[in-house]
Amino acid sequence: WLPPGVDRIYIEIYDECSFTMDELIAWGHIQIPSQVIQRGETHEDWYMLSGKQGDNQEGMIDLVFSYT
| Number of structural domains in the chain | 1
Could you give the CA distance from residue 54 to residue 10 in angstroms, rounded to a whole number?
17
Domain that holds residue 41: 8-65
Could you give the CA distance from residue 7 to residue 3 in angstroms, rounded to a whole number?
9
Residue 22 within a domain: yes
Rounded average pLDDT over 27-49: 96
pTM summary value: 0.82
Could you give the CA distance from residue 40 to residue 54 in angstroms, rounded to a whole number?
33
Residue 42 within a domain: yes
Q: Is the model's pLDDT at 18 over the cut of 90?
A: no
pLDDT category at 20 given cuts 50, 70, 90 is confident
The pLDDT value given to residue 1: 78
Residue 2 within a domain: no
